[in-house]
Amino acid sequence: MIRILFLGDVVGEPGRKALAKRLKSMQEEMAVDFTIVNGENAAGGRGISGKQCIEILKAGATVITTGDHVWDQKDLPAYIETEPRLLRPCNYPAGTPGSGVVVLDTAKGPVGVLNVRGLTFLNPPLDDPFRRAADEVETLRAKTRVVFVDFHAETTSEKIAMGRYLDGRVSAVVGTHTHVQTADEQIFPGGTAFLCDAGMCGAVDSILGRTKESILRRFLTGMPTTLPVANGLVHLCGAVVEIDEKSGRATAIKRVSEPVDP
């Protein structure tokens, strides 16, 4: 049995510091074999830089996934070509820097990770995530039965649809992007573990990891404003999935919400 820890969107410095402080002890306590972290908000809440990628890998991440903010930091297009453990959504057009898939060896066999971005309410428009994911999964399954998918999407319907579409073909589909952990963890009939949204690694006393005052000001005035990252107690949110490494079928999924004072 292989245990994979997945953590949702890391928001700014508080999220990064909480990872550095707690991730390795979490891995030991939960007997984790492989860790995936979504880092697309690690740079002040927008994107991730090469420096922050190194920081998250040193904290204990095996693979870092991203989403719609992947290109917000100017150094990222060049850096992502040098670091195969940093993924961007696979459904960007051909020729886009980086990759949306990776397979890494572990003591319990190879693990494949696939990063996909949804279409609904997200820009810019990308290739069809469903057909692109299916093509990538077929290639991955020739190398490993253990395939974990981070589906970065806005709507619950699109996330559930992706989980159902890939049921029996991947080990897990966990959603990111909305920063709010859902309570619908389950294993579909084909053996695919599913969670609609992992939640975030960001400040609890906030609105989606940003200061409450700035978000409320935008709603109340309709005027543009800066959205600083909130500080204070952080919850490292996500899920632990147990997978039979021979069949690739998930046997258990449990939500994680670990409080950390960074």
Active-site residues: which are they? 69
Q: How far is Cα 79 from Cα 76, in angstroms, rounded to an integer? A: 5
Note the maximum CA span of the chain.
56
Name which of 138, 116, 136, 145 is nearest 38 in CA terms: 116
| Vertex 240 angle, CA 246 and 26, to 5° | 120
Pairing of strands 34-38, 63-65: parallel
Q: How far is Cα 35 from Cα 183, in angstroms, rounded to an integer? A: 21
Element (H, E) at 234: strand 234-243
- DSSP, collapsed to helix, strand or coil, labels residue 3 as strand
Q: How far is Cα 185 from Cα 188, in angstroms, rounded to an integer? A: 10
- Note if the bond before 129 is cis, omega within 30 degrees: no
